[in-house]
Structure 1
């Protein structure tokens, strides 16, 4: 099909202006779809990740097929690469805004962490405290389960109540899985850190 004729524009305008723009926009759409697909796949949402994968592949095929039909047009290559780069930026922004999933925050602090524990309890956070021995003496390791959207508020709470605490953040597949693990003794591999030894 002659898209230039259908749209009522010259072949040059279509090939050097409209086509690169379409390719650029296609990449901006399909790269964030890839980001979301991976996120939902790691969350175990098979149906949604499969649907996103289908859309991602379809859009990519449309974009690459247009490039293959216009191999003499270097602007299409630039549009493809530029759209890919912009898509990564957009995808990261979407991922940050959605903040999908749950996290485990591991807090290593001095043994007397009562102020922090009281603050966590007052905000209804799920947490578990473990006694340990670090390179500088006795410490407490506090595990907190929360949604990723709560990370900023948790960081603020920790800084306000225990500013010298050491903190790491990890993803967790499901809250149920974490709860089941908290009911059993915490494995030493989960507590691994070069700075402490579990009693």
Structure 2
């Protein structure tokens, strides 16, 4: 059996091509999710690079579907790839965790042991005396890398399980104190947003 005859067989049209379309859609939607995050973080160069690959893969996938509208498996594979790609893109975004957050902790318990431990762990912390609904409170502010956020929240919960905290995304920072970390990404410095 020749290669072209194999490509035209029912096996390819019913199984292989739908799997290829699914994989391509999974890839392009995952790239789209990461690209949108890069755009929102101001990482223009890498957003453009991802955009190029995203649209190339999308064009190939959609052309296969449009050329074979009589095969509903192609459309189903395309749709499933889109849905799964959204999920995978969100998971990837959580893993690379680009950016920084502001963690605000409000506690009516003595916060000095927590502040000391956070500073000893390499986190920058600013503490302010304030007045809450039920009396005096301490407000702690810390700008923290998203990769370190859960670690810091766990420390807060360990010292004061009843502390109120809120998290905000930070668009830009100038200087700061951050714990040392290993760079697992080859292009880690390229993903940093440059200040304006």
Q: Identify the structure with the greater helix proportion.
A: 1
Residue 57 of structure 2 corresponds to which residue in structure 1? 59
- Equivalent of residue 76 in structure 2, options 75, 78, 87: 78
Tell me the secondary structure at the aligned position of residue 126 of structure 1: coil
Residue 110 of structure 2 corresponds to which residue in structure 1? 112
| Cα distance between partner residues in 2 of 1:157 and 1:111 | 15
1:38 shift after superposition? 1.7
| Cα distance between partner residues in 1 of 2:118 and 2:169 | 19
1:134 shift after superposition? 2.1
Check conservation: 2:105, 2:163, Cα contact below 8 A.
Answer: yes
1:148 shift after superposition? 1.1
Of the structure 1 ranges 107-116 and 146-155, higher mean CA displacement relative to structure 2 is found in: 107-116
Distance 1:7 1:131, change over 3 A: farther
Of the structure 1 ranges 99-108 and 20-29, higher mean CA displacement relative to structure 2 is found in: 99-108
1:88 shift after superposition? 1.8
In structure 2, the gaps of 5 or more residues are 177-196
Check conservation: 1:128, 1:143, Cα contact below 8 A.
Answer: yes
1:70 shift after superposition? 0.5
Residue 135 of structure 2 corresponds to which residue in structure 1? 137
Tell me the secondary structure at the aligned position of residue 7 of structure 2: coil
Tell me the secondary structure at the aligned position of residue 108 of structure 1: strand
Residue 161 of structure 2 corresponds to which residue in structure 1? 163
| Cα distance between partner residues in 2 of 1:102 and 1:6 | 53
1:117 shift after superposition? 0.9
Q: TM-score, normalised by structure 1?
A: 0.80
Check conservation: 1:103, 1:148, Cα contact below 8 A.
Answer: yes
1:108 shift after superposition? 1.2
Q: TM-score, normalised by structure 2?
A: 0.81
In structure 1, the gaps of 5 or more residues are 180-199
User: Is 1:28 paired with 2:26?
Assistant: yes
Tell me the secondary structure at the aligned position of residue 174 of structure 1: coil
1:111 shift after superposition? 6.1
Aligned residue pairs total 175
Tell me the secondary structure at the aligned position of residue 125 of structure 2: strand
| Cα distance between partner residues in 1 of 2:122 and 2:97 | 20
